Amino acid sequence: MSELKATRDAYGDALIELGKKDKNVVVLDADLSESTKTAKFREHFPDRFFNMGIAEQNMIDVAAGLSTCGKIVFTSTFALFATGRPWEQIRNTVAYSNLDVKIAASHSGISVGADGSSHQSLEDIAIMRVIPNMRVIVPCDAPESFKATIEAASIPGPFYIRFGREKVPVITSKNDDFEIGKARVLKDGSDVAIISCGMMVFLSLEAAQMLEKEGINAAVIDMHTIKPIDTKILSQFADKARAVVTAEEHSVIGGLGSAVSEFLSETLPVPVYKIGTRDTFGQSGNPVDLIKKYKMTAGDIAEAARKAVSRK
Amino acid sequence: MKYEEKSLKRKAAELRIEIVDMITRAGSGHPGGSLSAIDLLTVLYYSIIKVDPQKPDWNERDRFVLSKGHAAPAIYAILADLGFFPKEKLTGLRQFGSILQGHPDMRKVPGIDISTGSLGQGLSVAVGMALAGKIDKKKYKVFALLGDGEIQEGQIWEASMAAAHYNLDNLCMAVDHNGLQIDGKIEDVMNPSPIEDKFISFGWKVKSIDGHSLKEIYDAWNWARSTENGKPSAIIAKTVKGKGVSFMENVVGFHGKAPTKEQGREALDSLKKALNGVK
């Protein structure tokens, strides 16, 4: 078993790094700083951390105001409240004017677990992706989360960066190249391309191992940037494998699977099977049981791959 | 800057003409709330605020947030008059390809510090600007203008709480209290009163004024900008919607409706008479 680390932890570490490098980095949180790990930044830079209380709409527009005065602002809370509650503030004030606000949210997806549906964000990728100027990043592990945070700070304009609560296997290395908008091929393969994001990436690697035993050679692609999506890699692998599976800890409506389908349906129509929640809310439970319940296990990904291959 | 009543009065009269002219040409827009706000904005821009039309992005400038973004014609008329952009652009209000969008766009119009239009958001943005001023130990002030219907938005009170919590005494806000919103009188639609008491209880310093008395406005903006006691300042300015055009005054229908060409001519005639009266 590889090392385990929560992506939100790496986010907190990256904030400290950014705080040291650039005095214009400011962090806002909405009463969840211990959970989102912005507390790490607060300890080092108390003068540049502001708790905005349980008031997410205000937090987003305060961030907008700060950014007009030269600040690079990170706003953090749980994914559902970071994107859902202040959606219109993000759309009209942050994104419309292309302001330097980085919405970095933790506790995304079904793996939040015990808190139940009210805290399980399964729509956030969709509602952020639809906004012009917004870039959407879903890192797969801790090292990638660290790099995504650092890089997002260096690119002007709004970002949504999605982190998780649970510790997940570290599958990339500190020294691996990382570039926003450039997918990473974790395993090459020619029979089917599994394109995934977040913690679904390590499950996709497991699925690829299962398939290998059956003689199906699956590629696994870490599509950490959902917008702008890496169309070059998509074209290359759809052309090579002629069968695609997407996997995300999110609804199949509007997320990674939709983004992949939107591109391929216009350019290179091949079967695309989607792993994710299917137009449903979540419920309380431990993450393992929930992943099983909503058919998002490595076995489910492998099964989707078999179906996709059989369609060729 | 000095208070010069006659020149301010003349300026406000000229700007009223620009506003009505722009909206009449455009055939759409919000005359009522532009005319109720123009005295507050005239005094602010011609005797209080520190901005430089040659350097709209000057770091040390005072900031202004038109939270009631539908009063765009009022701020456009002022920015054009001050030379932030050529006056000829005013004829393009709300037209395809124009920098003068229906609601202000900071990426298109020099002198607009933040894009607005969706109500309830501007005060939070102003809080962010004021917070940046505190972080950077800058002397600039942040001015904001809100509508009285707008304060029905819950976010206004989130922002009010934050402004007091972070002791933003560099934040100077005014409410254009004209008493009307699209669906009728604010007290019938959703009564926000007592407005003064609400801001006081949220930790603000509050002053109520006649929003068409230039002297009261001048004193109030000065009071707001010079108060340094850890509290943000709120000016509750009683105004008349459509002020200056008799058939628009207190008529809710002119919230978001342009006058007809004929009405526009009539309004301009009376406004020009008023301007001559000042001279």
Bridge partners (DSSP) of residue B206 are: B234
CA–CA min distance A138, chain B (Å): 27
Residue A189 has pLDDT above 90, yes or no: yes
Cβ <8 Å between B132 and A48: no
Residue A106 has pLDDT above 90, yes or no: yes
Asked if residue A29 and residue A162 are part of one domain, the reply reads yes
| CB-CB neighbors (< 8 A) of A68 in chain B | 63, 106, 113-114, 125, 128-129, 132
Give A224-280 pLDDT, tens digit per residue.
999 999 999 999 999 999 999 999 999 999 999 999 999 999 999 999 999 999 999
Q: What's residue B66's pLDDT?
A: 98
Q: What's residue B229's pLDDT?
A: 87
What percent of chain A has pLDDT above 90? 99
Mean pLDDT of B197-209: 98
In which residue are the tokens 């105004």 written?
A: B239
Residue B227 has pLDDT above 80, yes or no: no
User: For residue B121, what are the domain limits?
Assistant: 5-276
Mean pLDDT of B234-259: 96
Residue A98 has pLDDT above 70, yes or no: yes
Domain termination residue (choose one: A169, A197, A213): A169
Amino acid at A141: D
Cβ <8 Å between B115 and A61: no
User: For residue A195, what are the domain limits?
Assistant: 184-310
In a domain? residue A179: no
DSSP A47: G
Residue A218 has pLDDT above 60, yes or no: yes
Q: Report the CATH number at residue A260.
A: 3.40.50.920
Nearest CA in chain B to A51: B162
Domain termination residue (choose one: A110, A140, A169): A169
Q: What's residue B131's pLDDT?
A: 98
List all residues 6 or more positions away from A260 whose beta carbon is below 8 Å from its beta carbon. Answer: A195, A223, A229, A234, A244, A246, A272
Q: CA-CA distance, A18 to A39, in Å (whole number)?
A: 14
Q: What's residue B228's pLDDT?
A: 75
Total Cβ atoms within 10 A of residue A177 = 8
Task: Determine the residue among B112, B125, B156 to mutate to test chain A binding: the one whose Cβ has the most chain A Cβ atoms within 10 Å.
Answer: B125
In a domain? residue A241: yes
From the list B124, B132, B159, the residue facing A71 with the nearest CB is: B132
Q: How many domains does chain B have?
A: 1
Mean pLDDT of A121-143: 98
Q: What's residue B187's pLDDT?
A: 97
Q: What's residue A2's pLDDT?
A: 79
Q: What's residue B243's pLDDT?
A: 97
Cβ <8 Å between B114 and A97: yes
Cβ <8 Å between B133 and A98: no
Q: Report the CATH number at residue B115.
A: 3.40.50.970
From the list B107, B113, B162, the residue facing A58 with the nearest CB is: B162
Whole-structure pTM over 0.95, yes or no?
yes
For chain A, list residues whose CB is within 8 angstroms of any CB belonging to chain B: 26, 47-48, 50, 52-53, 55, 57-58, 60-71, 88-89, 92-93, 96-98
Contact A56, A105 (CB under 8 A): no
Asked if residue A145 and residue A273 are part of one domain, the reply reads no
In a domain? residue A43: yes
Task: Determine the residue among A22, A58, A100 to mutate to test chain B binding: the one whose Cβ has the most chain B Cβ atoms within 10 Å.
Answer: A58
Work out how many CB contacts closer than 8 A connect A with B: 103
Give B28-45 pLDDT, tens digit per residue.
999 999 999 999 999 999
Q: What's residue A306's pLDDT?
A: 98
Give B59-74 pLDDT, tens digit per residue.
999 999 999 999 999 9
Q: CA-CA distance, B193 to B151, in Å (whole number)?
A: 10
Cβ <8 Å between B115 and A97: yes
In a domain? residue A176: no
Give A43-75 pLDDT, tens digit per residue.
999 999 999 999 999 999 999 999 999 999 999
- Band of the pLDDT at B272, cuts 50, 70, 90? very high
Total Cβ atoms within 10 A of residue A173 = 9
Active-site choice (A34, A43, A56, A248): A56
Cβ <8 Å between B162 and A53: yes
Asked if residue A148 and residue A51 are part of one domain, the reply reads yes
| CB-CB neighbors (< 8 A) of B131 in chain A | 50, 62, 65-66
- Band of the pLDDT at B152, cuts 50, 70, 90? very high
Asked if residue A164 and residue A91 are part of one domain, the reply reads yes
Q: How many domains does chain A have?
A: 2
Asked if residue A244 and residue A211 are part of one domain, the reply reads yes
Q: Report the CATH number at residue A95.
A: 3.40.50.970
**Cα–Cα distances in Å, from A16 out to A105, A107, B79?**
16, 20, 41
Catalytic-residue membership of A212: no
Mean pLDDT of A198-217: 98
For chain B, list residues whose CB is within 8 angstroms of any CB belonging to chain A: 59, 63, 65, 105-107, 113-118, 120-122, 124-133, 135-136, 154-155, 158-159, 161-162, 165-166
| CB-CB neighbors (< 8 A) of B126 in chain A | 65
CA–CA min distance B127, chain A (Å): 6
Residue A1 has pLDDT above 70, yes or no: no
List all residues 6 or more positions away from B16 whose beta carbon is below 8 Å from its beta carbon. Answer: B35, B38, B244, B245, B271, B274
CA atoms in the 13 A half-sphere facing the CB of B181: 19
Asked if residue A125 and residue A52 are part of one domain, the reply reads yes
Cβ <8 Å between A60 and B117: no
